[in-house]
Amino acid sequence: MRVEPPQLVPGCVLLKNVTGKSNKPIIPQHTVLTEEHINLLEKFLVETVDVSAKLADGEAFKPKFVHKEEVKQKEEPSKEQNAELFEDHYRNAVSNYKKLFIKWQNNVAIDMPEVRNILIPLFERMDDISMAVYTLHHYADKKDYIFHHSIAVGILSAYLAKKMGFEKGEWLQVGLAGSLSDCGMARLDNTIVTKTGSLNFSDYQEIKKHPTYSYRFIEKIPTITKEVKLAVLQHHERMDSSGYPIGLSKENIHVYSRIIAVCDIYHAMTCERLYKEKQSPFNVIEKLQHDQFSKLDHQVVQIFIKSLANFSIGTKVILSTNQSGEIVFVEDRYPTRPMVRMDESNEIVALKNESTLFISEIIGN
């Protein structure tokens, strides 16, 4: 049946792709709609969609009754247009951050107004960030990885802090801390920062100094809060005291630091670096799950995983067999092993029942 977005309810199943002005799918067919999907359709000014007469749970779908005068026209520009611009905005931020980093390598002090001008407008694009959390690593390249990493960790940290319920003023601070956490890498020998081979023990010992260097860079800047400074210093500390530079544990590690730690690991492991191959986001999430009761904060990891899973319905993926498909359902207990509809056969495979099969790559919505 064809209905207007305000008439939809969570659990509706799309029968046709919903496309924007560029004919790119906004939400693919067979997607089980959530509140986020419905809000997205309204923001994209989609007039009508085709959905099944039955909800995903088998119940009959009863469209909401909506008074015409209650449906407000959105005056803001199309979110699809904004989404297309987000990657450009991100890349400009990386380019500008790189220029700042080169200045820091030449012992120029950090200019916080300039840093804020680069980062805050990007962090505030939460709708776009929500759609890009699975694909940020696609933007990065090996050569400029360190600059991409700093911007992406800031974005992810602000996003996760918001999902954890922090007010805007705080989640922006967490984002700033995430992007500044590696600024001390500018104090390291550039041959280590740009090394293409495996890091040896000596290299690694030098790199472990970067949180302290980062802290020293910002320690005396009065416009940076104490919490941000602590987060920068502690972002490699671990709950079991196995981290660095101090070896703090549990309650001694600031919550901002715990947030950044998860985002730092996730982005680093999903990116191709000069000395390491990238991994699938879902494989990385499984590793985060493994460490959530030892090295990482359990609550932070759980909210991060839940936030990612909320945006995975309809996502196009490549499996370890090189077959393509689309995520159609995610169980809360198995966020890394969803049900996937295979493109070739239309068969639905439950990855939780296939121990040797896994998602190797996410190719977008």
pLDDT, tens digit, for every residue of 221-253?
999 999 999 999 999 999 999 999 999 999 999
104 with 110: CB under 8 angstroms?
Answer: yes
- Which CATH class, in words, describes the domain spanning 1-60? alpha beta
310 with 159: CB under 8 angstroms?
Answer: no
Q: What is the pLDDT of residue 288?
A: 84
pTM over 0.75: no
Q: What is the pLDDT of residue 329?
A: 87
Beta strand ranges found along the chain (DSSP E): 2-3, 18-19, 25-27, 49-50, 316-319, 324-329, 339-342, 348-350, 359-364
Q: What is the pLDDT of residue 90?
A: 94
Listed as ranges, residues in the chain with pLDDT below 50 are 22, 69-84
Q: What is the pLDDT of residue 79?
A: 47
C-alpha 270 chain-centroid distance: 11
Q: What is the pLDDT of residue 285?
A: 82
For residue 301, what is the enclosing H or E element? Answer: helix 298-309
Residue type for 211, please? P
- In this structure, the strands spanning 18-19 and 25-27 are antiparallel
Q: What is the pLDDT of residue 318?
A: 86
- Which CATH class, in words, describes the domain spanning 79-309? mainly alpha
Q: What is the pLDDT of residue 289?
A: 82
Token reading at 201: 């023990």
Q: Is 206 exposed, middle or buried (0-12, 13-18, 19+ CB in 10 A)?
A: middle
Q: What is the pLDDT of residue 301?
A: 92
Q: What is the pLDDT of residue 40?
A: 74
50 with 15: CB under 8 angstroms?
Answer: yes
Report the C-alpha gap between 265 and 250 in whole angstroms: 18
